[in-house]
Amino acid sequence: MEVKDLKLLIKMITETDITEFEMDNSDEKIVIKRNQKMEYVQVAAPTVAYTTAPQMAVPAAAAPVAASAPAAVVETGETINSPIVGTFYRAPAPDAAPYVEVGQIVEKGQVLCIVEAMKLMNEIEAECRCKIVKICKENAQPVEFGDPLFVMEKL
Amino acid sequence: MLVLHTHNSMYPYSSLFFNPKPENNFSMGYQMHQKAGTILRLFREQDGFVSGEKISRSLNVTRTAVWKHISALRDAGYVIEATPSRGYRLVASPDILNIEELASQLHTSSIGRRLVCLSETVTTNADSFRLAEDGAVEGTVVIADAQSSGKGRLGRAWTSPPGVNLYCSVVLRPSIKPYEAPQLTFLSAVAVARAIELITNLKPEIKWPNDVLIQGKKVAGLLNEMSAETDAINFVILGVGVNLNMTFGQFPSDLRHPATSLLLETGQPVGRVRFTATLLNELDRLYTDFRSHGFALVREEWQQRCSANGRHVVVTDCGVEVVSGKYFGIDGDGALLVRRANDKIERILSGDVRVL
């Protein structure tokens, strides 16, 4: 399936109440799952689309790949990335409430988390009004420069 | 935020502390205070008596006005002797964080360009962060006599009673990348160590990344904050708390690490204005070099002052041991290098270091 068709398919599905969609044919398997407006698109397909392998053999080979292919998960939406190497903190103190939760709508300039590098605390702020779709790191986990910290949806 | 008023509220500079809120006309107040600062500077430049005539010429005011300024300084706690034939002599200065006196002792190019002194605030870091967001110039310094909620890393409390210590924050706007900003952590630690050494003759040591210790006891707490976009820094706040004249009874009983003050170590009280001026002067020197030559000088001096030189260290993070081995210096980013028994070098970016 071509990318534009896949986009169309996702668009069609998101306009309905369908939360899970699975399509399996001889040379590719597509799984679309929706959760809290989060869209995972899982595509498992032979890398060479025009494979000439016998038709019968392909589904057998594709099925186990699909089952164990989380690498094919695509996060839709924009990410907020870490500007420094450091440690990710979701709250200002261990016993304090997290700055944000999944699904929360945050205003421009609102603090989302802290990334600490050698006693330099870097408060990461929302650059626009947006909805937090996913928190990509665990509290107190190390992060690299440019690592996605949040997936967000601009509002 | 409270603004401290000294006994006489009739005189313009009896209010020695400023409120940084924009509705207060800061520049007006500062002009009036500059006169008092000039008088104090004259006293310092000339040991002994300064003639009323000299003061009136320097201030460009009448002799009567000089007398009024002297009275106001007395009201603020300065002991000034006046002799008709010889003039005025400063006998004693109160240990208050007086903005004009501090200004008169600064020899800086950027640090202290704007000074804000508060009697009490929540934290000076929060104040300077807010000022910086409103566009405060690089070198803006916020100092408080007391903090109601002084903080360390991860929301840990920093005890901040009035009248004894230094709590200050400095706004910097360095033109470096956000990932280079942790280097400033080392810069402020070196500045504090230098200031302690200059004022007391004690030999402070630094523990990675920026704990300043005397005989293994913590004397200063440094916490920096940054506001940055992905590839540019808006500003960095250097937060500095130094225990100057705190006594045993003022330390909380549930301290995580042993702590001390300069008074406890030397038996001598430290003048807060003098210490603050020394610290800001050293910060300015180091920062000026940092801006033109980068991290090299700070890194070298930090390493000389590091308590772990030639020692074995254990690094823990959230109570879990990360690595144990020989201290191997810091790299160009400030990361701690530890050499394991198998000669493998580990690079540490966060954690608590214990020197064995």
Instruction: Supply the CATH number for residue B8's domain.
Output: 3.30.930.10
In one-letter notation, the amino acid at residue B47 is D
pLDDT at A38: 42
| 8 Å CB contact of A118 and B227 | no
pLDDT at B141: 97
Q: Which residue has the higher pLDDT, A81 or A49?
A: A81
Are residues B87 and B102 located together in one domain of the fold? no
CA pair distance A19, A32, nearest whole angstrom: 8
| Closest-CA distance of chain A to residue B227, Å | 6
Strands A86-89, A141-143: pairing is antiparallel
The count of CB pairs under 8 A between chains A and B is 83
Q: Which residues of B touch A121 (CB under 8 A)?
A: 153, 223-226
| Closest-CA distance of chain B to residue A153, Å | 18
Selecting from B154, B181, B231 the residue whose C-beta is nearest the C-beta of A120 gives: B181
pLDDT at B302: 97
| Closest-CA distance of chain B to residue A145, Å | 8
- Residue B327, number of CB atoms within 10 A of its CB: 22
CA distances from A85 to A24, A88, B232 (A): 42, 9, 15
Are residues B259 and B150 located together in one domain of the fold? yes
Are residues B316 and B267 located together in one domain of the fold? no
- Domains along the sequence of chain A with CATH: 3-33 (no CATH), 50-154 (2.40.50.100)
Q: What is the pLDDT along chain B (356 residues), one digit of tens a residue?
A: 333 322 222 223 323 344 333 333 233 334 446 788 888 888 888 878 999 999 999 999 999 999 999 988 888 778 899 998 899 999 887 788 878 889 989 999 999 999 999 989 999 999 999 999 999 999 999 999 999 999 888 788 999 999 899 999 999 999 999 999 999 999 999 999 999 999 998 999 999 999 999 999 999 999 999 998 778 899 999 999 999 999 988 998 888 789 999 999 999 999 999 999 999 999 999 999 999 999 999 999 999 999 898 899 999 987 889 999 999 999 998 999 999 999 999 999 888 899 98
Are residues B86 and B207 located together in one domain of the fold? no
Give the end of a domain, one of B92, B110, B127: B92
Half-sphere exposure of B347 (CA within 13 A, CB side): 9
Q: Are A18 and A35 in contact (CB under 8 A)?
A: no
Nearest to A112 by CA among A122, A99, A101, A102: A99
Q: Burial code of B161-181, b = ≥16 C-beta within 10 A, e = fewer?
A: beebbbbbbbbbebebebbbb
Are residues B105 and B171 located together in one domain of the fold? yes
pLDDT at B350: 81
Residue A3 has pLDDT above 90, yes or no: no
Are residues B86 and B120 located together in one domain of the fold? no
CA pair distance A79, A82, nearest whole angstrom: 10
Are residues B137 and B196 located together in one domain of the fold? yes
Residue A110 has pLDDT above 60, yes or no: yes
Indicate the SS3 state at residue A150. strand
Domain that holds residue B335: 312-355
Cα angle for residues B50, B54, B58 (degrees, 5° grid): 120
Give chain B's domain count. Answer: 3
Q: Burial code of B136-154, b = ≥16 C-beta within 10 A, e = fewer?
A: bebbbbbbbbbbeebbbeb
| Closest-CA distance of chain B to residue A121, Å | 5
Q: What is the DSSP letter of B112?
A: T
Give the end of a domain, one of B92, B124, B150: B92
Q: Which of B350, B352, B353 to mutate to test the interface with A (most CBs of A within 10 A)?
A: B350
CATH of the domain at B74: 1.10.10.10
Are residues B173 and B34 located together in one domain of the fold? no
- DSSP codes of every residue in A23-61: EE-SS-EEEEEEETTEEEEEEE--SSTT--S-TTHHHHH
Q: Which of B134, B149, B211, B226 to mutate to test the interface with A (most CBs of A within 10 A)?
A: B226
Indicate the SS3 state at residue B19. coil
Residues in chain B: 356
pLDDT at B32: 44
Whether A123 and chain B come into contact, CB under 8 Å, resolves to yes
CATH of the domain at B348: 2.30.30.100
How does pLDDT run across A18-76, given as a tens digit for each residue? 667 677 777 777 777 665 444 444 444 433 333 334 444 444 444 444 444 444 345 56
Q: What is the DSSP letter of B35?
A: H
Cα angle for residues B36, B37, B38 (degrees, 5° grid): 90
Strands A78-81, A74-75: pairing is unpaired
Are residues B210 and B183 located together in one domain of the fold? yes
| 8 Å CB contact of B179 and A92 | no
Are residues B227 and B287 located together in one domain of the fold? yes
Query: Tokens standing for A1?
Result: 């399936």
Beta bridge partners of B48: none
**In A, residues 31-90, which contact B (CB 8 Å cutoff)?**
81, 83-87, 89
Instruction: Please report, to the nearest 10 degrees, the dihedral formed by the alpha carbons of residues B78, B81, B84, B86 taken in order.
Output: -100
| Closest-CA distance of chain B to residue A118, Å | 6
Are residues B224 and B325 located together in one domain of the fold? no
Are residues B231 and B301 located together in one domain of the fold? yes
